[in-house]
């Protein structure tokens, strides 16, 4: 505790010239064992890598699940004997059983939303980037930060274990609505698997909260001298708002989950009333299933932005660096992040338009939902004007950042359809919804994450990722994502419902059989290309081209003033002082001016 | 030394973290109490009968807030004897509060009210779930207070830093205020 205070005091106290970081002389290394360096590390950079690699493992599992259920959806009449070899009774006769299908869908959603895009994306980049970009030796509390990872790890272990229990993992959709999820007798997936799910999520929430607390206090308290809030890179602003969203919304999900655990295990009736299961009348009365939906979506909607905001922040940074132009409308970018953050808490009921919500109440939620289009449009406009007439370098990170903008526009536009309560009567629970949230939240955030990995990999491992594999990865993923999700809009408009195992006996949706087969095939190709990325990632950690220059992208932010392989504490000498914002690109005839450079006498204003 | 003065004006990062955490905890109870309000307006709501014991536990936790404040004043004034006395008192009062809460729920059970299981009513289940979660937060505070109290009494180490107690005291006042809020809420929103 005291050592951190000293560290911090040190940072504020000693302000020399920004050249100080070049001296590698007085690097105070304390001896680290394998255990303290790689496993129980309190170094934010190592914790970030732990989040990233755990996230990658989960992404492979979650992605594989989608391939499995796409096999069923695309080829409903075929049987795949290898499935029975792998999954036994869950895929008897080589066909995925109905229960197993629902379990796969549920786990795919849970894993991707929480374990990959929350922990793997914001956990990774918040950890790696906050101290490096604000100019701090480490997080406000390295210990809490370590706990944050290990709670995530525990949550992962519990969730992973639930895949192997006899009654299978939780099923009922990632939203686990009661009464289905509250009653073990209602389905296989509501038995032990659901308890595992709830316990795992409780641990996950603790992990996110510990992480979020740390991110907020690091950003607000440990900025280096000269790093005012308005000089922060947009990545940090985005992560800051993400953490605020998480800290305020996850506890509400926790309370919802605790009440559900009560209902499941202690026979209470928070969510249950007047239910008959298999001819048996249950004694529960007085509960309300809708109550759970309110509690769930009060988190659930901000969760969308918890996933999306870090991607937006990284994309802003990467677009500016690789266009060699300042970000357009910095304050508007911060303001729109703030607006999204506020609105995120006021729109949850748009997930509940068809639950019997009062239509007059619905009108307010429609209005507030559509209002989100305003900050979103500001952001898109600013990204486009940032790259407009820029001196663009098409690095893999840049391509993924541009891809993010493309997906965000395509997916965002369908959000305007779904935000209308009247249209939602027709569109809810159809493939239109699936297409919308996969493009705007799933794939777009993945693109932001990939952009971040490609851009900061040199900082993380001191090596580059292989470019050829990166370009293949980008183009196949971009084209593939559109090929998978674009057609779903049409079947959704035609009313094709989500979460069904088989439509082949359904006259109205037979016409989409070929399209479904096409989608499934593309999904498999895209999944294979993600494995290529995983290979590239691990191969490059050990064998990638070595980074030779301290600042390979010619970027202004502080992380590029650290040594190529920074130790614990980040800067061997003093922490550099900051004199300007992070976006002085192409100014006064200079390609870029790092934040550490003092403002010259005759410099023009930005 | 200029650094020191600069450092002093800023809030300690751990204290700040605690404030954010308290905001987060508050959101959880806001979620629960608004769920309670929603539920209350629906059918088959039972009027809560709040046993007398909960009044005693409320007084206990309020007094413990006072004693933790005295402990903090004592360590700042380097009055170590008084500091030890108030620390031990606070930790004991914290434990007493938890005990009284358990007694309170037993009293409800003895009056034939089912908190959980078949025949239970959501009104009382809410009382149990919300107070139970509050109790868990108090338990965390009691453990922190006990650790500090043991360190204060132990003869092997001498610490004069008031920071750990400052953080624990802030948290303790918070769980105290949270209980007062919940207590008023339950009495008012029967």
The whole-angstrom separation of Cα A272 and Cα A284 is: 6
Residue A33, pLDDT score: 79
Closest CA to A334 of A311, A313, A305, A317: A313
Q: Write down the domain spans for chain B.
A: 51-188
Residue B9, pLDDT score: 56
Give yes or no for residue B120 having a pLDDT over 50: yes
- How much of chain A exceeds pLDDT 90, in percent? 76
Confidence category of residue A31, pLDDT binned at 50, 70, 90: low
Instruction: Report the residue of B31, B43, B160, B171 to disrupt the A interface, i.e. the one with the largest count of A CBs within 10 Å.
Output: B31
Which of B10, B21, B32 is nearest residue A213 as measured by Cβ atoms? B21
Give yes or no for residue A11 having a pLDDT over 80: no
Cα B30 → chain centroid: 16
Confidence category of residue A30, pLDDT binned at 50, 70, 90: low
Confidence category of residue A13, pLDDT binned at 50, 70, 90: very low
Cα A34 → chain centroid: 29
Nearest CA in chain B to A5: B12
CATH fold for the domain made of B51-188 = 1.20.120
Nearest CA in chain A to B132: A258
Tell me the pLDDT of chain A averaged across its residues: 91
Helices A289-323, A444-461: axis angle to 10 degrees equals: 50
Q: Write out the residues of chain B at the interface with chain A, using a CB-CB cutoff of 8 A.
A: 2-4, 6-7, 10-14, 16-17, 20-21, 23-25, 27-32, 35, 38-39, 42-45, 115-122, 125-126, 129, 133, 161, 163-164
For A179-224, how does the pLDDT look when each residue is reduced to its tens digit (9 = 90+)? 999 998 888 889 999 999 999 999 999 999 999 999 999 999 999 9
Residue A6, pLDDT score: 39
Nearby residues of A137 by Cβ (< 8 Å), 6 or more positions away: A4, A7, A8, A11, A131, A569, A570, A571, A575
- Residues A472/A404, Cβ–Cβ less than 8 Å: no
Which DSSP string do the residues of A385-451 spell out, in sequence order? HHHTT------HHHHHHHHHHHHHHHHHHHHHHHT-HHHHHHHTTBHHHHHHHIIIIIIHHHHHHHH
DSSP class of residue A334 equals H
Catalogue the long-range contacts made by A414-417 (C-beta closer than 8 Å, 24 or more residues apart).
A414/A439, A414/A440, A414/A489, A415/A369, A415/A372, A415/A373, A415/A440, A416/A370, A416/A373
State whether CATH 1.20.210.10 applies to domain A2-21+40-592: yes
Q: How many CB atoms lie within 10 A of CB B123?
A: 22
For A124-179, how does the pLDDT look when each residue is reduced to its tens digit (9 = 90+)? 999 999 999 999 999 998 999 999 999 999 999 999 999 999 999 999 899 999 99
Which of B6, B29, B122 is nearest residue A270 as measured by Cβ atoms? B122
Instruction: Report the residue of B15, B27, B165 to disrupt the A interface, i.e. the one with the largest count of A CBs within 10 Å.
Output: B27
- Residues A107/A62, Cβ–Cβ less than 8 Å: yes
Residue A606, pLDDT score: 58
Q: Write down the domain spans for chain A.
A: 2-21+40-592
Nearby residues of A96 by Cβ (< 8 Å), 6 or more positions away: A68, A69, A71, A72, A83, A87, A90, A104, A501
Which of A4, A222, A251 is nearest residue B27 as measured by Cβ atoms? A251
Confidence category of residue A299, pLDDT binned at 50, 70, 90: confident
Tell me the pLDDT of chain B averaged across its residues: 87
Q: How many CB atoms lie within 10 A of CB A385?
A: 14
- Residues A126/A246, Cβ–Cβ less than 8 Å: no
């Amino acid at each position: 505790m005291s050592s951190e205070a000293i560290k911090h005091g040190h940072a504020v106290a000693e302000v020399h010239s920004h050249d100080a970081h070049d001296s590698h002389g007085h690097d105070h290394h304390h001896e680290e064992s394998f255990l303290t360096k790689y496993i129980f590390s309190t170094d934010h950079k190592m914790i970030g890598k732990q989040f990233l690699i755990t996230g990658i493992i989960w992404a492979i599992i979650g992605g594989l699940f989608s391939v499995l259920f796409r096999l069923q959806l695309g080829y409903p009449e075929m049987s795949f004997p290898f499935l029975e070899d792998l999954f036994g009774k869950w895929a008897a006769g080589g066909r995925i059983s109905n229960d197993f299908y629902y379990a796969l869908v549920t786990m795919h959603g849970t894993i991707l939303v929480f374990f990959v895009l929350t922990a793997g994306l914001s956990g990774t980049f918040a950890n790696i980037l906050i101290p490096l970009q604000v100019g701090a030796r480490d997080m406000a509390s390295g210990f809490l930060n370590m706990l944050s990872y290990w709670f995530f790890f525990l949550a992962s272990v519990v969730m992973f274990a639930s895949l192997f229990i006899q009654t299978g993992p939780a099923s009922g959709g990632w939203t686990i609505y009661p009464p289905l999820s509250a009653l073990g007798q209602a389905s296989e997936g509501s038995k032990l698997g659901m308890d595992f799910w709830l316990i795992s999520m409780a641990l996950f929430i603790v992990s996110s909260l510990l992480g979020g607390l740390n991110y907020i206090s690091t950003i607000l308290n440990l900025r280096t001298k000269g790093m005012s809030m308005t000089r922060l890179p947009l990545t940090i602003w985005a992560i800051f708002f993400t953490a605020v969203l998480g800290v305020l919304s996850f506890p509400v999900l926790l309370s919802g989950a605790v009440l559900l655990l009560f209902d499941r295990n202690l026979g209470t009736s928070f969510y249950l009333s007047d239910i008959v299961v298999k001819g048996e009348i249950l004694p529960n009365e007085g509960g309300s299933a809708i109550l759970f939906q309110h509690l769930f979506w009060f988190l659930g909607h901000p969760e969308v932005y918890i996933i999306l905001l870090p991607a937006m922040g990284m994309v802003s940074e990467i677009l500016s660096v690789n266009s060699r132009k300042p970000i357009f409308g910095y304050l508007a970018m911060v303001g729109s992040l703030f607006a999204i953050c506020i609105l995120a808490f006021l729109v949850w009921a748009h997930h509940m338009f068809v639950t019997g919500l009062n239509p007059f109440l619905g009108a307010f939620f429609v209005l507030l939902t559509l209002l989100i289009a305003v900050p979103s449009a500001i952001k898109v406009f600013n990204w486009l004007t940032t790259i407009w007439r820029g001196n663009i370098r098409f690095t893999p990170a840049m391509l993924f950042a541009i891809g993010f903008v493309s997906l965000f526009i395509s997916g965002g536009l369908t959000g305007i359809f779904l935000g209308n309560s009247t249209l939602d009567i027709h569109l809810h629970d159809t493939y239109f919804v699936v297409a919308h949230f996969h493009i705007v939240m799933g794939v777009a955030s993945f693109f932001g994450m990939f952009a971040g990995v490609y851009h900061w990999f040199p900082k993380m491992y001191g090596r580059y990722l292989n470019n050829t594999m990166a370009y293949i990865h980008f183009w196949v993923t971009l084209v593939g994502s559109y090929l998978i999700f674009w057609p779903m809009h049409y079947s959704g408009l035609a009313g094709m419902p989500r979460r069904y195992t088989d439509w082949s006996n359904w006259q109205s949706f037979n016409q989409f059989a070929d399209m479904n087969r096409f989608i499934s095939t593309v999904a498999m190709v895209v999944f294979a290309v993600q494995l290529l990325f995983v290979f590239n990632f691990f191969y490059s950690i050990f064998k990638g081209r070595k980074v030779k220059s301290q600042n390979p992208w010619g970027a202004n932010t502080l992380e590029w003033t650290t040594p190529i392989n920074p130790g614990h504490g980040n800067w061997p000498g003093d922490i550099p002082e900051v004199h300007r914002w992070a976006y002085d690109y192409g100014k006064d005839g200079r390609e870029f001016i790092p934040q550490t450079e003092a403002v010259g006498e005759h410099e023009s204003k930005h | 030394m200029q650094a020191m003065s600069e450092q002093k004006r800023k809030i300690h990062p751990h204290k700040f973290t605690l404030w954010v955490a308290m905001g987060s905890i508050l959101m959880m109870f806001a979620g629960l109490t608004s769920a309670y309000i929603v539920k209350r307006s629906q059918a088959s709501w039972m009027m809560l009968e709040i046993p007398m014991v909960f009044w005693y536990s409320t007084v206990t936790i309020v007094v413990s807030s006072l004693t933790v404040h005295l402990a903090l004043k004592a360590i700042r004034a380097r009055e170590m004897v008084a500091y030890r006395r108030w620390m031990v008192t606070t930790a004991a009062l914290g434990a007493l509060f938890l005990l009284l809460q358990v007694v309170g729920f037993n009293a409800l059970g003895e009056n034939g009210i089912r908190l959980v299981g078949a025949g239970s009513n959501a009104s009382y289940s809410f009382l149990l779930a919300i107070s139970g979660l509050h109790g868990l937060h108090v338990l965390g505070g009691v453990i922190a207070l006990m650790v500090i109290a043991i360190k204060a009494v132990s003869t092997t180490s001498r610490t004069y830093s008031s920071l750990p107690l400052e953080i624990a005291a802030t948290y303790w006042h918070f769980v105290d205020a949270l209980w007062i809020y919940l207590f008023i809420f339950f009495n008012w929103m029967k």
